[in-house]
Amino acid sequence: MMQNLPAKIKWSAPEYEYHKKNPEWFWVLGIITIKMVLAAVILDNFLFGVFIVLAGFSLAVYGARKPRVIQIELGSGGIKAGNKNYDYDDLDHFWINYEPPYKKELILESKKTFSPHSTIMLGDADPELARRFLLQYAKEKRIEESLANTIAKMLKF
């Protein structure tokens, strides 16, 4: 079953799924930020107000940022995605979420407590070939989308 697999699989893809934000998205963010700053003023909490302004600004900058195209490589030593390396020994399992044409991503479940999930876009890579390659080094197990990811996608992040 594992015959005819290449030594490495390489492709390029965006570093994350991008959702274009219309001007209304930024207006809503601004209105929410202003209301929360007003709440901080009413509560006489200057530090919270400063935090809200910084958070609103950071969300606006991050929301407008487009993903870089990164190089991804599956090899015998692990997975390289841009400047991140994932060692197979640190992975608990993986799942390829493939629902064309909407989803085509590799989800990694880490054994580490503080960084449990990582998502890598498959771009133009063959999902079945990637799956067969990864089965040599890691277990396959369905990974459901987390609540945080679901909320982020609803908010177009």
Domain spans of the chain? 9-14+69-154, 23-64
Backbone φ and ψ of 14, nearest 5° = -65, 150
CATH class of 9-14+69-154: mainly beta
How many C-alpha atoms does 41 have within 13 Å on its Cβ side? 7
Rounded CA Rg of the chain:
20
3-state percent breakdown (helix, strand, coil) of the chain, nearest 5: 35, 30, 35
pLDDT score for 78: 94
Buried b (16+ CB within 10 A) or exposed e, 68-97: eebebebeeeebbbeeeebebeebebbbbb
pLDDT score for 18: 85
Amino acid identity of residue 32, one-letter, is I
Give the residues of the chain that fall short of pLDDT 50. 1
pLDDT score for 60: 94
Pairing of strands 91-99, 139-140: parallel
pLDDT score for 102: 77
pLDDT score for 3: 63
